[in-house]
Amino acid sequence: MEFKPHEYQKYCIGFVKAHPFCALFLDMGLGKTAIVLAALIDLLFSSLSVKKVLIVAPLRVCDTWKEECEKWDQFQVLKPSMVVGDQKTRIAALNHKAFLYVISRDNIKWLVDYYSRNGVQFDFDCLVLDELSSFKNHQSQRFKYLRKIRPLFRRVIGLTGTPASNSLMDLWAEFALIDRGERLGRFIGRYREAYFRPGAMNPSTGVVYKYIPRPGAEQMIYERISDITVSMKAIDYLDLPECVRINTVVEMDEKERKLYDMLEKDLLIPLDDGDIDAANAAALTGKLLQFSNGAVYDENGVVREIHRHKLEALVDLIEQANGQSVLVSYYYRHDRERIAAYLTAAGIPFREVRDTDSIHDWNAGKIQVGLVQPQSASMGINLQQGGHILILFGMFYSLELYSQLCGRLFRQGQKHTVTIYHIITKDSIDEDVLDALEQKDATQDRLIRALKARIQDAKR
């Protein structure tokens, strides 16, 4: 097939070619991969300004680059070398002559060590960071090692649909890799001091654990990065169906409520043969989320079932679908086990959607109820052909993960209104998570809108 870019894609292609260091904040479905490949074709073979490209992506997304090159006629000449698999396979792929080399973000340290240890010249001159937001943590190993080799690249392209999934603080590390700190500063401390103020701190130690933007800081940050950033939302450029979000609320009984309140207050529920406890506030968050879903791991790793309210609500929603395919998201392993047992007892067929065969069968309409874990189904798979109903059995704190998960169904090619159900336990941490996601989304939406490409202005 011949790749025929839309007008917005043409704009992005031109932007990438014109800016050696740039970021594309594009929603799912806008064709980020094809846009970059089209730009690289010109940079490699027309302007000759690029010789060898390193593409860093989540492992599941790596194959997308190969598939896109095989899909479109213009890109087939690129034939990327896939630096994935065991060490022997990765080394062979690095030594294979190609224009593009695709590697998992988790192998960045290995790559840097391999070149350093073997005295091999690092000859990549263009870096593509797919899912740039996965480098938002400036303390992570992947960030630190990539920052070491960042000066060796003459071109850097960052791609993501969720640039500030937690807060605007995320942007510092991302742009430290794009422009080496030219716009947001070379040091995270100075960035923090310039644009944020303490929002919450431990009164005993004085340690700040939350920062909020200073008045006017958001707009200042947007302006600082706007010259090398393109931002677009899919709803503005694609003919997408409506997306409806519905909260299905369940309620704990009096006994369950007392146990929940005890865990929240005391970080402990004493039980025979193993207490349910939380060592700190972070661990408590996980325990309360599990409790809201109906079961909790105790101190011995044993699953203690508390209630089945969400399981009952799940079956009701599946039955209300009247035979339509339903995608069910679970977060904890014990949730998956409990869902599987409950659906089996109810006589409802289901199947895990995670590998190539199951994805194909889902899209072919052969799976009535598909189970997915957000972290394994959030990137690199298209499920819009198989259904339009998503049920979140349990909530989780991650706007990026949530957006990617919903985007498996709500994307280009979907022909029906997408309905996303959140099964929420009343007066629990579930409600806090929903509020937090909405607040993060508002911040991110302001970022997206502030940086939105003015295509019409560019045409004039």
3-class SS string, 421-435: EEEEECCCHHHHHHH
pLDDT at 389 over 60: yes
Q: What is the pLDDT of residues 310-358, one digit of tens each?
A: 999 999 999 988 889 999 999 999 999 999 999 999 999 999 998 889 9
Rounded CA gap, 10 and 30, in Å? 12
Please state the rounded mean pLDDT for residues 45-51: 96
Rounded CA gap, 382 and 47, in Å? 34
Rounded CA gap, 366 and 386, in Å? 8
Place of tokens 């869902």: 339
Residues above pLDDT 70, as percent of the chain: 95
pLDDT at 419 over 50: yes
Residues 6+ apart with CB under 8 A from 441: 399, 403
Rounded CA gap, 418 and 388, in Å? 5
Residues above pLDDT 90, as percent of the chain: 65
pLDDT at 279 over 80: no
Rounded CA gap, 111 and 245, in Å? 42
Q: Label residues 349-373 b or e (16+ Cβ within 10 Å = b).
A: ebeebbeeebbeebbeeebbbbbbb
Rounded CA gap, 124 and 430, in Å? 46
Please state the rounded mean pLDDT for residues 183-203: 91
Cβ 164 vs Cβ 171: under 8 Å:
yes
Q: What is the residue-averaged pLDDT of the chain?
A: 90
Task: Give the predicted TM-score (pTM) of the model.
Answer: 0.76
Token duo for residue 407 = 């985007």
Superfamily of domain 7-235+447-459: Tandem AAA-ATPase domain (3.40.50.10810)
Q: From the CB of residue 345, how many other CB atoms can be counted at a distance below 10 Å?
A: 10
Q: What is the pLDDT of residues 15-25, one digit of tens each?
A: 999 999 999 99
* Distance between start and end Cα atoms, the chain: 32
DSSP for 162-216, please give it.
Answer: -TTSS-TTHHHHHHHHHHTTTTT-S-HHHHHHHHEEEEEE-TTT--EEEEEEPTT
pLDDT at 449 over 70: no
Could you tell me the CA-to-CA distances from 115 to 118, 123, 256, 436 in Å, in that order?
5, 10, 57, 42
> Strand, helix or coil at 300?
coil
State the maximum Cα–Cα separation within the chain, in Å, rounded to a whole number.
73
pLDDT at 248 over 70: yes
Output the pLDDT for position 323: 87
Place of tokens 């103020």: 197
pLDDT at 381 over 80: no
Rounded CA gap, 64 and 385, in Å? 18
Please state the rounded mean pLDDT for residues 166-183: 93
Query: Which of 153, 246, 229 has its CA nearest to residue 184?
Result: 229
pLDDT at 458 over 70: no
Q: Which helix (H) or strand (E) holds 100?
A: strand 100-104
Residues 6+ apart with CB under 8 A from 25: 160, 161, 163, 229, 230, 231, 232, 447, 448, 451
Higher pLDDT, 284 or 185: 185
> Strand, helix or coil at 115?
helix
Rounded CA gap, 177 and 151, in Å? 9
Please state the rounded mean pLDDT for residues 393-403: 88
Q: Which helix (H) or strand (E) holds 231?
A: strand 229-232
pLDDT at 286 over 90: no
Assigned fold of 243-432:
Rossmann fold (3.40.50)
Place of tokens 């929240």: 264
Every domain of the chain with CATH number 3.40.50.300 lies at 243-432
Output the pLDDT for position 30: 87
Could you tell me the CA-to-CA distances from 265 to 262, 270, 284, 299, 425 in Å, in that order?
5, 13, 10, 18, 18
Cβ 152 vs Cβ 127: under 8 Å:
no
Rounded CA gap, 185 and 194, in Å? 10
pLDDT at 250 over 60: yes
Please state the rounded mean pLDDT for residues 399-406: 87
- What is the pLDDT confidence band of residue 453, given thresholds at 50, 70 and 90? low
Cβ 385 vs Cβ 413: under 8 Å:
yes
Place of tokens 């972070």: 282
Output the pLDDT for position 268: 79
Every domain of the chain with CATH number 3.40.50.10810 lies at 7-235+447-459
Type of residue at 278: A
- What is the pLDDT confidence band of residue 451, given thresholds at 50, 70 and 90? low
pLDDT at 70 over 80: yes
Any idea how long the chain is? 460
- Among 27-31, 193-197, 389-393, the range scoring the smallest mean pLDDT is 27-31
- Among 124-138, 330-344, 411-425, the range scoring the smallest mean pLDDT is 411-425
> Strand, helix or coil at 279?
coil
- Among 315-329, 377-391, 418-432, the range scoring the smallest mean pLDDT is 377-391
pLDDT at 440 over 80: no
Output the pLDDT for position 114: 95
Cβ 369 vs Cβ 338: under 8 Å:
no
pLDDT at 265 over 60: yes
Output the pLDDT for position 448: 64
- What is the pLDDT confidence band of residue 459, given thresholds at 50, 70 and 90? very low
